[in-house]
Amino acid sequence: MPANIFDVVIIGGGPGGYVAAIRASQLGMKVALVERESLGGICLNWGCIPTKSLLRSAEIFDYIKRADEYGLSAGSAGFDIAKIVARSRQISDQLSKGVQFLLKKNKVTVLTGEANLSAVGSVSVETADEGTKSVCADHVIIATGARARQLPGLETDGRLVWSYKEALVPEKVPESLLVIGSGAIGMEFASFYRSLGSRVSVVEVEPRLLPVEDHEISGLAEKAFRKRGVDILLGASVTSLKKHTDSVVATIKCQDETREIKANRVIAAVGVTPNSDSIGLEALGIATDKSGFIKADGLGRTNVEGIYAIGDVAGAPCLAHKASHEGVICVENIAEPGKALPLDKSRIPGCTYCHPQVASVGLTEQQAAKQGYGVRIGRFPFAGNGKAIALGESDGLVKTVFDSQTGELLGVHMIGAEVTELISAPGVAQSLESTEADLMHTVFAHPTLSEMVHESVLDAFDKAIHI
Amino acid sequence: MREIVLPQLAMGMSEGTIVEWCVAEGDRIERDAPLVSIETEKVVVEIPAPYEGFVHIITAVDKTVPVDTLIAQITSTKDEYKQLIGSGSGETAVASAEEDVVIKGEATPPDASPGVASGPVTGRIKASGLAKRIAGDEGIELASITGTGPGGRIVRRDVENAIEVRKSIPVSVPTSIVSGSTPARREKGRIPLTGMRGAIAERMMQAKLNAAQTYVFFEIDVTKLLLARETMLSREDELGTRVSMTALYTKALALACQHVPICNATLEGDEITVWDNVDVSVAVAMPGKGDYDSGLLVPVLRNVETKNVLQISRELKNLVNQARAGKLSTAEMSDHTVTLSSTAGLSTPGSWLVSAPILNMPAVMAFQPGTPKRTPVVTDDDQIIVRDILPCGLTFDHRAVDGGPIGDFTRKITDLLSNPELMLL
């Protein structure tokens, strides 16, 4: 096979693309991966991973401030934002190198540059130092991801109005911060900066915080953040923004009122927009939806044979684990058509790593009711769990949603310490199509936070022990 | 390790259904102790263990498998058993596990729906908890479903698809009563053509298609016979049995058969065999398996020509009881030479006048007495008197027997049943 001909070419080295590349190589394909920036994509370099690093610093800082509760003395708590940021950059760097190593180990050819679909089966790559290269493959997977959505008047300027990118590498902690959008990204930054002492306001256009979550969880999150001193404006939108040297004044329409909020920095976290505009989709007639997301089926196939799309660029939910999973399914289907099972998008867990953490999988109570299910709801509060109390984290809730007819576990919704680690067990249960009988029959270790999942299931059937 | 296969219990037996394992998985069994009950088309047979040892069950209860299918293994030691179980061949599974459905070999689920049948299935059926529950609620057998989940696991959509397929099979689906112009059929139940029902269907059709069945109807004045029976019934305590009409008919049938030997014959292949002894297959109504089903067995009473009415009556009662208890062996229902199928138990006098039985192949004749009815009769001297008249139907295979001998036969049996004292001879 000539050097520039591959079995599969993947555009984008994020969690969708690099995972697809490794899996394709494992399946015996000759693989090329094109990445214009850093391997690991937004997730690893400017998303999931560095934010977790920042939030961990904030979490430990919060604990140090509470040291006395645990019988500890730690002097006066303080931080060095430069070191906090450096730690997060170092972690991203380490992991990006790890991806580089994995790709090398799997003999994936990595091309650095901007990719363009010149024809079906042909991708041209504009490299920085070697001019334009052309690679060919029967299968081209588009995994170009997404970027922060820009609202008119709220465009990020890198100075006063930040996107996640600037928010990840602050030189100093702003005294006051206005977060626009209360999705996962907005709430994580609100949480981080609040922990480090910023006065934080959150503006959300929907009537609830974390609008994709179960209403009850949204309500508990709102309560928890208000308790932390975060100013929350729901059903609100920014109508204008006046920029000064080191601050902005935002005019906010909140229901029927108009308020002005002065803040040193603004973080715009109003969703993402797909990176589908500069890769040559139109010329090949690859179909997109009105927001620009590429239309792909459950196996990643677009309307053009030989062209696939996975991850954020192929539509919501824009989550790294969804992208990776789609990547694997896509290449497995290429390797052995008819064998791979399409991704069930209704069972993708979502996690928000703010304090308190929020995690969920499946249908919310409201979605289940809307879809016509008779529902049984189970609830178990952190206050009833021994491990939670021992951790000093007695605020939170585990909520389970069942189909009253079949006993199918429709959804699990949690808020509280470490719930992002608890959500995978219910995910497995859902994936196995467990009913309440299976879950009740499962022994959960004691003392763990996971026991709350069990108790919540029991509660849905009026059998909970510890409430 | 010894293998137990589904034995062929009778000629023509092609498959059998496991009714019950008499031992639990892994239990030790003595030689000749009951091992398994197997239902064939005709009977339930208990198979004793041919060897002693530890039993590994392969075919689960209610599964139907072909003859010679491996249904169990017996190891001589417990260690060998453990090795067998732990061998991880992936093909064996413990049948007693509560939620596992285990089948092995060429098992075709008896009620596999067209379009969802999976053909030969091996080992444990993997299904999600939800799939099991929905299948259970809907009465869908998991073995009839092909799994499309990870590793071929049966998941919710597979069960739902099977439900859809099932719905699409009948021309009309069960619907609520629709008032107006389109009356919808409403389904009440389903009876699979398997087991006894299947055997009945197959044998009836075989007879209809393969024999030149010809029908004769006649009446017999059984006034004297009923009087004689009155006498017998009055001696019930002394005789130890209530002599049945069927016993009397059977005796007469045997005597008439001896008188016209071609009526006591079987036709198989290109040969008619005329038999010396009269082995009468007697149709016995059986309860069905479901709410709407009924059943039928034909145990054989042997050497009727040598037996007196009392013996016949006792043996018949015994056969009927055994048949209804499901204890008849296949041998006890094979190799008849002629058939008696009375409709007496099925009707009151006059409500079922007369009918022609279907042949129980390969016998060439079947006799069907009805229920005696008090009837006005014109005597030779033009008097009208009341007599007990028995309507009779008779079917013969015209390939083997012609009208002449049948005329002789009906005349003979009429004579015997009108003048029962002749049966003393």
Please compute the mean of the pLDDT values over residues A323-339 and round it to a whole number: 95
Which stretch of DSSP H or E encloses residue A252? strand A248-254
- DSSP secondary structure of A365-393: HHHHHHTT--EEEEEEEGGG-HHHHHHT-
> Would you call B128 and A432 a contact, using CB atoms and an 8 Å cutoff?
yes
The tokens describing A359, both together, are 């995690």
Which stretch of DSSP H or E encloses residue A331? helix A320-335
CATH number of the domain encompassing residue B392: 3.30.559.10
The beta-strand segments (E) located in A21-166 are 31-35, 109-112, 114-119, 122-126, 132-142, 146-148, 161-162
B8, B67 contact by CB (below 8 A)? yes
Coil, helix or strand for B290? coil
User: How many alpha carbons fall within 13 Å on the CB side of residue B187?
Assistant: 12
Q: What percent of chain B has pLDDT over 70?
A: 86
Task: Assess if residue B96 is contained within a domain.
Answer: no
What is the distance between the alpha carbons of residues B394 and B239, in angstroms, rounded to a whole number? Answer: 31
Look at phi and psi of residue A284 and say left if phi exceeds 0, alpha if psi is from -120 to 50, else beta: alpha
pLDDT at A263: 97
**Would the pLDDT of B174 be above 50?**
no
Chain A residues touching B131 at Cβ < 8 A? 433
Chain B residues touching A433 at Cβ < 8 A? 128-131, 149, 155-156
Sheet of strand A257-263, all strands in order from the earlier edge strand to the far edge: A236-243, A248-254, A257-263
Nearest CA in chain A to B157: A433
The beta-strand segments (E) located in B290-358 are 294-297, 300-301, 338-340
The tokens describing B44, both together, are 């339930």
Instruction: Using pLDDT thresholds of 50, 70 and 90, give the confidence band for residue B11.
Output: low
Instruction: Using pLDDT thresholds of 50, 70 and 90, give the confidence band for residue B179.
Output: very low
**Would the pLDDT of B121 be above 70?**
no
Chain B residues touching A435 at Cβ < 8 A? 129-130, 133
Task: Assess if residue B117 is contained within a domain.
Answer: yes
Mark whether B201 and B163 lie in a shared domain. no
> Would you call A433 and B148 a contact, using CB atoms and an 8 Å cutoff?
no
Mark whether B297 and B415 lie in a shared domain. yes
What is the distance between the alpha carbons of residues B297 and B317, in angstroms, rounded to a whole number? Answer: 14
Mark whether B253 and B371 lie in a shared domain. yes
Q: Can you give the C-alpha Rg of chain B in angstroms?
A: 27
Within 10 angstroms of residue B341's Cβ, the number of other Cβ atoms is 23
Task: Assess if residue B173 is contained within a domain.
Answer: no
What is the distance between the alpha carbons of residues A407 and A435, in angstroms, rounded to a whole number? Answer: 5
Tell me the nearest-neighbour CA distance from A328 into chain B, angstroms. 14
Strands B64-66 and B70-75, sheet pairing:
unpaired
B151 touches chain A (CB under 8 A): no
Can you give the length of chain B in residues? 425
Instruction: Using pLDDT thresholds of 50, 70 and 90, give the confidence band for residue B195.
Output: confident
> Would you call A341 and B150 a contact, using CB atoms and an 8 Å cutoff?
yes
Task: For chain A, give the mean pLDDT.
Answer: 95
Please compute the mean of the pLDDT values over residues B26-42 and round it to a whole number: 83
> Would you call A433 and B130 a contact, using CB atoms and an 8 Å cutoff?
yes
Coil, helix or strand for B318? helix
Domain boundary pick from B150, B167, B184:
B167
Mark whether B144 and B219 lie in a shared domain. no
Axis-axis angle for helices B245-259, B403-418 (nearest 10): 140
CATH number of the domain encompassing residue B19: 2.40.50.100
- Find all residues with CB under 8 Å of B45, minimum gap 6, and list them: B9, B37, B38, B39, B329, B330
Task: For chain B, give the mean pLDDT.
Answer: 83
Mark whether B23 and B74 lie in a shared domain. yes
Mark whether B80 and B119 lie in a shared domain. no
pLDDT at B12: 66
Domain boundary pick from B116, B147, B167:
B167
> Would you call A407 and B130 a contact, using CB atoms and an 8 Å cutoff?
yes
Cα A232 to Cα A127, A396, A446: the distances in Å are: 46, 19, 37
Cα A431 to chain centroid, rounded: 20
B85-106 pLDDT tens trace: 765 444 444 433 334 443 333 3
The beta-strand segments (E) located in B12-124 are 15-21, 28-29, 34-39, 44-48, 53-57, 64-66, 70-75, 102-103, 123-124
pLDDT at B182: 53
Mark whether B10 and B49 lie in a shared domain. yes
Question: What's the pTM value of the predicted model, to 2 decimals?
Answer: 0.61
In the chain, the amino acid numbered B72 is A
Q: How open is the CA angle A99-A100-A105, to the nearest 5 degrees?
A: 95
Token match 């994995």: residue? A102
User: How many alpha carbons fall within 13 Å on the CB side of residue A200?
Assistant: 26
The ipTM, to two decimals, is 0.72
pLDDT at B107: 38
Q: What percent of chain B has pLDDT over 90?
A: 40
What is the distance between the alpha carbons of residues B411 and B274, in angstroms, rounded to a whole number? Answer: 20
In the chain, the amino acid numbered A330 is C
Strands B338-340 and B280-282, sheet pairing:
parallel
Which residues of B, range 16-55, sit inside 8 Å of A by Cβ? Answer: none
Task: Assess if residue B292 is contained within a domain.
Answer: yes
Within B144-273, where are the H helices? 156-168, 195-210, 223-234, 236-239, 245-259
What is the distance between the alpha carbons of residues A314 and A295, in angstroms, rounded to a whole number? Answer: 6
pLDDT at A23: 98
Chain A residues touching B133 at Cβ < 8 A? 406-407, 435, 437
**Would the pLDDT of A43 be above 50?**
yes
Burial of B368 (0-12, 13-18, 19+ CB in 10 A): buried
Task: Assess if residue B180 is contained within a domain.
Answer: no
Task: Assess if residue B176 is contained within a domain.
Answer: no
Flag the least confident range among A11-20, A31-40, B129-138.
B129-138
In the chain, the amino acid numbered A9 is V
**Would the pLDDT of A217 be above 50?**
yes
Task: Assess if residue B150 is contained within a domain.
Answer: yes
Instruction: Using pLDDT thresholds of 50, 70 and 90, give the confidence band for residue B149.
Output: confident
The tokens describing B244, both together, are 């049945």
> Would you call A408 and B130 a contact, using CB atoms and an 8 Å cutoff?
yes
Nearest CA in chain B to A441: B129
Tell me the nearest-neighbour CA distance from A6 into chain B, angstroms. 30
B150 touches chain A (CB under 8 A): yes
Q: How open is the CA angle B289-B319-B263, to the nearest 5 degrees?
A: 105
Tell me the nearest-neighbour CA distance from A430 into chain B, angstroms. 10
**Positive or negative, the Cα torsion across B396, B397, B401, B402?**
positive
Instruction: Using pLDDT thresholds of 50, 70 and 90, give the confidence band for residue B178.
Output: very low
**Would the pLDDT of A129 be above 50?**
yes
Chain A residues touching B154 at Cβ < 8 A? none
Nearest in space to B57 (alpha carbons), one of B35, B25, B86: B25
CATH number of the domain encompassing residue B130: 4.10.320.10
Within A66-127, where are the H helices? 81-105
**Would the pLDDT of B422 be above 80?**
yes
DSSP B421: G
pLDDT at B170: 52
Axis-axis angle for helices B403-418, B223-234 (nearest 10): 50
pLDDT at B101: 41
B366-397 pLDDT tens trace: 999 999 999 999 999 999 999 999 999 999 99
Please compute the mean of the pLDDT values over residues A282-310 and round it to a whole number: 95
Strands B384-397 and B365-369, sheet pairing:
antiparallel
φ/ψ (deg, to 5) at A11: -100, 110
φ/ψ (deg, to 5) at A252: -125, 130
B221-260 pLDDT tens trace: 999 999 999 999 999 888 888 999 999 999 999 999 999 9
Catalytic center residues of A = 446
Per the model's pLDDT, the better-predicted residue between B205 and B187 turns out to be B205
Mark whether B8 and B135 lie in a shared domain. no
B301-358 pLDDT tens trace: 999 999 999 999 999 999 988 888 878 888 888 899 999 999 887 878 878 888 899 9
What is the distance between the alpha carbons of residues B295 and B276, in angstroms, rounded to a whole number? Answer: 31
Instruction: Using pLDDT thresholds of 50, 70 and 90, give the confidence band for residue B81.
Output: confident
Cα B14 to chain centroid, rounded: 15
pLDDT at A419: 98
pLDDT at B141: 84
pLDDT at B88: 43
What is the distance between the alpha carbons of residues B236 and B241, in angstroms, rounded to a whole number? Answer: 5
Mark whether B118 and B80 lie in a shared domain. no
Mark whether B275 and B409 lie in a shared domain. yes
A263-294 pLDDT tens trace: 999 999 999 999 999 899 999 999 999 999 99
Mark whether B148 and B10 lie in a shared domain. no
B134 touches chain A (CB under 8 A): yes
pLDDT at A5: 95
B61-76 pLDDT tens trace: 888 888 878 888 888 8
Q: Which residues of A174-211 are buried (b: 16+ CB within 10 A; e: fewer)?
A: bebbbbbbbbbbbbbbbbbbbbbebbbbbbbbeebbbe
Tell me the nearest-neighbour CA distance from A408 into chain B, angstroms. 6
Which stretch of DSSP H or E encloses residue B5? strand B2-5
Look at phi and psi of residue A65 and say left if phi exceeds 0, alpha if psi is from -120 to 50, else beta: alpha
Tell me the nearest-neighbour CA distance from B327 into chain A, angstroms. 40
pLDDT at A156: 92
Cα A412 to chain centroid, rounded: 17
pLDDT at B190: 81
What is the distance between the alpha carbons of residues B330 and A427, in angstroms, rounded to a whole number? Answer: 55
> Would you call B130 and A437 a contact, using CB atoms and an 8 Å cutoff?
no
Please compute the mean of the pLDDT values over residues B270-286 and round it to a whole number: 92
User: How many alpha carbons fall within 13 Å on the CB side of residue A107?
Assistant: 9
Strands A396-403 and A375-381, sheet pairing:
antiparallel
pLDDT at B136: 87
Mark whether B296 and B354 lie in a shared domain. yes
Please compute the mean of the pLDDT values over residues B178-188 and round it to a whole number: 62
> Would you call A435 and B129 a contact, using CB atoms and an 8 Å cutoff?
yes
Instruction: Using pLDDT thresholds of 50, 70 and 90, give the confidence band for residue B123.
Output: low
Q: How open is the CA angle B149-B155-B158, to the nearest 5 degrees?
A: 95
Flag the least confident range among A98-112, B48-62, B238-252.
B48-62
Look at phi and psi of residue A75 and say left if phi exceeds 0, alpha if psi is from -120 to 50, else beta: left
> In a mutagenesis test of the A interface, which of B98, B99, B132, B133 is the best target, namely the one with the most A β-carbons within 10 Å?
B133
A70-100 pLDDT tens trace: 999 988 889 999 999 999 999 999 999 999 9
Please compute the mean of the pLDDT values over residues A324-344 and round it to a whole number: 94
Nearest CA in chain A to B135: A406
> In a mutagenesis test of the B interface, which of A325, A433, A434, A436 is the best target, namely the one with the most B β-carbons within 10 Å?
A433
Task: Assess if residue B253 is contained within a domain.
Answer: yes
Cα B37 to Cα A339, A355, B47, B197: the distances in Å are: 41, 64, 6, 19
Q: What percent of chain A has pLDDT over 90?
A: 94
**Would the pLDDT of B41 be above 80?**
no
Cis status of the peptide bond prior to B48, with omega within 30 of 0: no
What is the distance between the alpha carbons of residues A403 and A409, in angstroms, rounded to a whole number? Answer: 7
> In a mutagenesis test of the A interface, which of B98, B126, B130 is the best target, namely the one with the most A β-carbons within 10 Å?
B130
Give residue B35's domain range. Answer: 2-87
Least CB-CB distance to B156: which of A433, A437, A438? A433
**Structural domain total, chain B:** 3
